[in-house]
Amino acid sequence: ILKLCYFIHCQKWELYVLSSLGWDLSSVTPLDFLELFIIKLSVRCKVFSGLNINTVRNNAQTFIYLAAKEYRFSKYAASIIAASSIVASMNNLKWQICTDDIIQFPFNFLTDSTSVKQDQLQQCILQMNVIYKEQSHKF
């Protein structure tokens, strides 16, 4: 019990010091961006009648969880991982689009939203597809 009291006392002091310094230790994760991108995409994607947003969201979360376990995604910003997870989810769902103009829309929208180049987004998507294939036998 003495160790527990000491731990709690130290923890309170740590929090006091952090709050006195004005430090915010919360980190931004891909899940923070996911809902924002999903909402914006669903509002702008009226032409995508076959798109089930909840299914895309659930699959994108799976891609994010898989990426969180892999060191190779540490080089990507949280926003890139979130955007890539959405596109990878749509690809995984075998969502087909008829015209080339419409298929470019998710890429253009997500690259504009994240301020990254499409080749970075595509590179992250390819790596997500690789880890999905590696891990899919465990599902």
Q: Please give the class, per CATH, of domain 30-138.
A: mainly alpha
What's the pLDDT at 60?
93
Q: Locate the domains of the chain by residue range.
A: 30-138
| Residue 13 pLDDT > 60 | yes
* 1 class by beta-carbon count within 10 Å (0-12 exposed, 13-18 middle, 19+ buried): exposed
Q: Among all chains, which residue has been given the structure tokens 């994607």?
A: 45
User: What whole-number distance in Å separates Cα of residue 137 and Cα of residue 120?
Assistant: 27
**pTM, full prediction:** 0.72
Give residue-wise pLDDT tens across range 29-41.
999 999 988 888 7
Percent of the chain with pLDDT over 70: 75
What's the pLDDT at 67?
94
Bigger pLDDT: 18 or 37? 37
Measure CA 63 to chain center.
8
What's the pLDDT at 47?
53
Bigger pLDDT: 134 or 110? 134
User: What whole-number distance in Å separates Cα of residue 114 and Cα of residue 104?
Assistant: 15
Give residue-wise pLDDT tens across range 71-121.
999 999 898 999 999 888 887 776 544 444 444 566 677 777 777 778 888
| Residue 63 pLDDT > 50 | yes
The chain-wide mean pLDDT, for the chain, equals: 78
- 73: Cβ–Cβ under 8 A, 6 or more apart, which residues? 67, 81, 124, 127
Number of neighbours of residue 133 by Cβ within 10 angstroms:
9
| Strand stretches in the chain, DSSP E | none
